Every structure is written in C-alpha cells, then in structure tokens.
C-alpha cells in the first residue's frame, strides 16, 4: 500500500500538476485508510485487499468519530481517484470505490461580510512591521479575491505595484493575473519597505518576523486576531473575504464571467456558489429591468 500511495502522489505532482496542498490532503487520507485496513486485517495491507465492505467500514468509522459529511465525501472521492489510477496502471482490474455513493451534502449559501464589516476589518492602524503586514494581507485578500494558498505562495518578483497587478499560481498550478486597487497598492508598498528590515531569507512577499515564508495557518491566525480586535460578531476566514470580494463585485454590476476569471474558476457553476445577492438587491434589479414591474 505504501509503494502504491507513493507512486500515486508522484503521479499527482508530475503529471497532473496538483498543488502541494492537494497532494498533502490525498496523502493524509490514504495514510488514514491504510491505518484502518492494518487495524482490521492485522497486517500490512495491499491495494488488492480493499473492497466495498472495507471502504464502507472506513467511512462508518469516520462517522463514529464525528467527521463531517463534507470530509467523508472528500475522502471517498480521493479513494476513487486512487483506485482509478491503480486500474489504469494495471495494478487492479476494478475500482472498489466506484459504486459507493457519497454522503448527501447540504447546500449552504456562503455568507459574505457586509461592506461596513470589511471596512472595519481592514482599518488596521500602526506602523510596526506586524501591523503593516496584517494591513497588506487583508487589503490584498479583499482586493483580489485570491486564495490563502495563493497569497502565501506569492514572490516579490510577481508583484507589479505600478500596474497594480500580481501573478498568482492557482489550483492545478494554473497561472493567472489578478488586479488590485490603490488602497491595496499603498498597503503593499508600505509592507514591502518594512519587509526589507526583517532580513528576508526567501523571495516570498509575506514573511514571518524571522524572515521565512509566512504559512497558511499564520494568515488564518492573523485574521482571527483581527476579528477579535474589531469585535466582529461572526467567524471570518480568508475564504470569507474571497466570498465577499465576489459578492460585492456582483452587487455593483460586475459580469459573472469577469468574476470567474478573477477568481480563477474553471467552471461558471463554481463561481455562482461564491456569489450571493440578497433579496433587496434582486428586487431592485427586477424593478429596474422588467418591462411590467
């Protein structure tokens, strides 16, 4: 099982250009499944050992541990992909996870921040490096709608302050150019000046106070701290700012296709999940545009 997992992860990296985050998630899920098989079988498992009964048992075990349906569905999808790869390689003659149904998931409409809440969140004061970095991170997340992984993966050479553009590496290692406004540019310029004094050990735009690249987890911690500082009465993640970016653009008349390009989505249906227009806005649009409203 270990050799098959290692070969599959190499395939994801070299042939499918999967992101490090995706590869890590697949690897952790397969390690968890392998540990379950080892516990049930009492020996080191092989890919040929897996069948529908064992996979169902694995999912039931996850359910007992209180794992969310979304996580179970992701793990099952990962197993399907893994076994499909082994079938293509001639290691297996059938995919034991193919016929299993994913857990029924509730469709949740993302809840974006209101514009006033975003203003409060982004109003970071202070001229010390930590404050300048926080302000630049929040301004850039909201100005561009980029993912947290894309933010921490940015290098200085990919930022054009004069043109107000930055090149990011998205899912599937697809590059795209995103735009940002004057406020984000000034926040970013102030941070890049302060960054020089921290003796950077990497080309990353956002570094920690020791000079290394800032991690995804650190960005989430900074945002959580900022939410507490402004006493925001709800949870907020980098993805919340991504939802808010798309929703506010749509509410002000941006075309959905343009938002799709800015977010880096391959499918328009994915973009539609990221946008939310409240009933009042829909009513206003209806009254303005319908001939018999």
Q: Which CATH number do you get for residue 204?
A: 1.10.443.10
211 pLDDT above the threshold of 60: yes
95 pLDDT above the threshold of 90: yes
Per-residue tokens: 57: 């048992």
Q: Per the domain annotation, does 104 fall within a domain? A: no
pLDDT tens figures, 212-226: 999 999 999 999 999
Asked about 239 being catalytic, the answer comes back as: yes
Between the alpha carbon of residue 189 and those of residues 157, 159, 240, the distances in Å are 13, 10, 24
Position 195 scores a pLDDT of: 94
Query: What is the average per-residue pLDDT within 86-93?
Result: 92
Shared domain for 69 and 131, answered yes or no, is no
Name which residue leads in pLDDT, 276 or 48. Answer: 48
Asked about 69 being catalytic, the answer comes back as: no
Position 203 scores a pLDDT of: 95
279 pLDDT above the threshold of 60: no
Shared domain for 121 and 52, answered yes or no, is no
Question: Among 63-67, 172-176, 231-235, whose mean pLDDT is lowest?
Answer: 172-176
Asked about 11 being catalytic, the answer comes back as: no
Query: How many domains is the chain partitioned into structurally?
Result: 2
Asked about 242 being catalytic, the answer comes back as: yes
Residues above pLDDT 90, as percent of the chain: 54
Query: What is the average per-residue pLDDT within 110-129?
Result: 89
- Cα dihedral 175, 74, 102, 95, rounded to 10, equals 80
pLDDT band, very low/low/confident/very high, at 72 (cuts 50, 70, 90): confident
Annotated catalytic residue: which of 26, 85, 142, 274?
274
Shared domain for 76 and 172, answered yes or no, is no
Query: What is the average per-residue pLDDT within 119-134?
Result: 93
Position 8 scores a pLDDT of: 93
Q: Looking at residue 23, which CATH number applies to its domain? A: 1.10.150
Annotated catalytic residue: which of 164, 167, 171, 273?
171
Shared domain for 84 and 220, answered yes or no, is no
For residue 174, count other CB atoms closer than 10 A to its CB. 12
CB-CB contact of 112 with 243 (8 Å): yes
Annotated catalytic residue: which of 75, 80, 147, 195?
147
pLDDT tens figures, 149-204: 999 999 999 999 999 999 988 776 778 899 999 999 999 999 999 999 999 999 99
Asked about 248 being catalytic, the answer comes back as: no
Please tell me the number of Cα atoms within 13 Å of 222 on its side-chain side: 24
CA angle 277, 263, 153 (to 5 degrees): 135
pLDDT band, very low/low/confident/very high, at 285 (cuts 50, 70, 90): low
Between the alpha carbon of residue 82 and those of residues 3, 47, 88, 91, 262, the distances in Å are 12, 10, 10, 11, 31
Position 22 scores a pLDDT of: 85
Query: What is the average per-residue pLDDT within 13-27?
Result: 85
Annotated catalytic residue: which of 185, 213, 226, 242?
242
Asked about 171 being catalytic, the answer comes back as: yes
pLDDT band, very low/low/confident/very high, at 293 (cuts 50, 70, 90): low
Please count the residues of the chain: 293
Rounded CA-CA distance 208/200 in Å is 9
Annotated catalytic residue: which of 213, 226, 248, 265?
265
Mean residue pLDDT across the chain = 87
Annotated catalytic residue: which of 46, 239, 273, 276?
239
Shared domain for 187 and 63, answered yes or no, is no
Q: Could you tell me the residue range of the domain that residue 81 belongs to? A: 2-88
């Amino acid at each position: 099982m270990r050799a098959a997992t290692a070969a599959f992860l190499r395939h994801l990296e070299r042939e499918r250009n999967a992101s490090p985050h995706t590869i890590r998630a697949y690897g952790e899920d397969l390690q968890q499944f392998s540990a379950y098989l080892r516990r049930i079988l009492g020996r080191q498992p092989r890919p040929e050992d897996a069948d529908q009964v064992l996979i169902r048992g694995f999912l039931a075990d996850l359910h007992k541990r209180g794992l969310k349906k979304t996580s179970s569905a992701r793990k099952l999808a990962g197993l399907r992909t893994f076994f499909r790869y082994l079938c293509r390689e001639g290691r297996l003659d059938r995919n034991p996870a193919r016929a299993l149904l994913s857990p029924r998931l509730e469709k949740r409409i993302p809840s974006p921040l209101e514009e006033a809440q975003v203003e409060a969140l982004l109003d970071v004061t202070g001229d010390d490096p930590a404050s300048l970095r926080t302000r630049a991170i929040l301004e850039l997340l909201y100005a561009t709608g980029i993912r947290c992984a894309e933010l921490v993966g940015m290098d200085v050479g990919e930022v054009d302050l004069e043109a107000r553009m930055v090149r990011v590496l998205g899912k599937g290692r697809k590059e795209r150019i995103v735009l940002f406004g004057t406020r984000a540019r000034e926040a970013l310029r102030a941070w890049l000046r302060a960054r020089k004094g921290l003796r950077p050990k990497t080309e990353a735009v956002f570094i920690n106070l020791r000079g290394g690249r800032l991690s995804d987890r650190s960005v989430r911690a900074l945002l959580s701290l900022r939410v507490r500082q402004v006493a925001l009465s709800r949870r907020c993640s980098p993805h919340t700012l991504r939802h808010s970016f798309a929703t506010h653009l749509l509410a002000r008349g941006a075309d959905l296709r343009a938002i799709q390009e800015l977010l880096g989505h391959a499918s328009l249906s994915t973009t539609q999940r990221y946008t939310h227009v409240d009933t009042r806005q829909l009513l206003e649009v209806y009254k303005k545009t319908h001939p018999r409203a």
